[in-house]
């Protein structure tokens, strides 16, 4: 990265993050267009390099797809971004100034980076509306959460998210009897209730019907611009349907980046992944 785009590495080094300070949402410097920086990041587990001098740059409002064979480093990459795993070396920045390696998982989530795992995690004994309501109140104490009353703005936000995920008519449906695809959409809605700047989404269409896959593509495409969305996925047709830019990981590094056509026709990608 040039000096004009390099994050201000020392901005937060004077702070004590032993008990990490929360970062105010919206206070993310994307003046150079990039919302997420990973530079020369390496992570080793018992001598195995899960990430090997990996560099990745995600633009603000971009929808990016990450692909690669098992063991390529996709999960570890998301673990590092969300604070679950600490990098051995390299830098990870949210905007120009926020050093994610100096923050814990809760603070990173509060700052505006959220993650959806492959298996949907919803509260099955609660309704769709209650799941979204609980997500809205997730940063409050348990006593307040149990007895607080929603204000008009909060109700409007839930209605807005219900519309985005296409579940307005299911607001009073118990989450436990939703289809697999509907549970995935609900969980995306639960993340949206936190108004994240960056969303990391792991294999969102695994186990879905063709109709659910098409609806998920529409949903994710509707989020780009307002949110930066990073999707890890193995379904190449789904990736083609949503991605302008694809990053291919191999052995913990970026093998190449480009359009889906460029990726599918690259001999290196064919050898290590698509041709398997």
pLDDT in tens, 88-97: 999 999 999 9
The pLDDT of residue 70: 87
The pLDDT of residue 145: 52
End-to-end Cα, the chain, rounded Å = 34
Element (H, E) at 79: helix 74-81
Residues 14, 210: Cα–Cα separation, whole Å: 51
pLDDT at residue 25 tops 80: no
Residue 117 pLDDT grade (very low, low, confident, very high; cuts 50, 70, 90): confident
The pLDDT of residue 57: 97
Give Cα separations from 42 to 59, 70, 179, 255 (angstroms).
Answer: 22, 18, 39, 15
Q: Phi and psi (nearest 5°) for 142?
A: -60, -40
If one counts every other C-beta atom within 10 angstroms of the C-beta of residue 166, the result is 15
Residues 251, 234: Cα–Cα separation, whole Å: 16
Residues 91, 7: Cα–Cα separation, whole Å: 9
Question: What is the pTM (predicted TM-score) of this model?
Answer: 0.85
Q: Report the candidate in 107, 71, 34 with the shortest Cα–Cα distance to residue 273.
A: 71
pLDDT at residue 12 tops 70: no
**Mean pLDDT, rounded, for 100-127:** 92
pLDDT at residue 264 tops 70: yes
Average pLDDT, the chain: 87
DSSP 256-274: EEE-HHHHHT-HHHIIIII
pLDDT in tens, 130-146: 999 999 854 455 444 55
Residues 184, 175: Cα–Cα separation, whole Å: 11
Q: Which domains does the chain have, with CATH numbers?
A: 1-61+70-111 (3.40.50.300), 112-236 (3.40.50.300)
- 150-154, 183-187, 190-194, 272-276: lowest mean pLDDT where? 272-276
């Amino acid at each position: 990265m040039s000096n004009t785009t390099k994050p201000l590495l020392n901005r937060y080094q004077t702070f004590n993050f032993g008990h990490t300070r929360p970062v105010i949402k919206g206070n993310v410097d994307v003046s150079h267009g990039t919302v997420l920086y990973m530079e020369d990041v390496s992570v080793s587990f018992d001598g195995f390099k899960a990430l090997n001098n990996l560099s990745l740059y995600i633009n603000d409002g971009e929808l990016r797809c990450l692909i690669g064979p098992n063991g390529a480093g996709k999960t570890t990459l998301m673990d590092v971004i969300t604070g679950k795993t600490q990098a051995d070396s390299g830098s990870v920045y949210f905007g120009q100034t926020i050093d994610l390696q100096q923050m814990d998982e809760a603070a990173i989530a509060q700052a505006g980076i959220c993650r959806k795992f492959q298996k949907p995690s919803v509260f099955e004994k609660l309704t769709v509306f209650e799941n979204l309501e609980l997500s809205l109140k997730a940063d409050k104490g348990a006593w307040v959460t149990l007895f607080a009353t929603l204000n008009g703005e909060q109700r409007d936000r839930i209605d807005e998210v219900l519309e985005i995920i296409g579940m307005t008519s299911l607001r009073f449906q118990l989450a436990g009897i939703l289809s697999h695809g509907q549970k995935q959409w609900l969980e995306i809605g639960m993340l949206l209730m936190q108004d994240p700047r960056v969303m990391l989404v792991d294999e969102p269409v695994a186990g879905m019907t063709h109709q659910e896959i098409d609806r998920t593509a529409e949903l994710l495409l509707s989020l780009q611009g307002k949110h930066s969305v990073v999707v890890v996925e193995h379904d190449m047709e789904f990736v083609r349907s949503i991605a302008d830019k694809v990053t291919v990981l191999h052995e913990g590094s970026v093998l190449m980046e480009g359009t889906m056509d460029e990726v599918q026709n690259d001999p290196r990608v064919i050898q290590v992944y698509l041709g398997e």
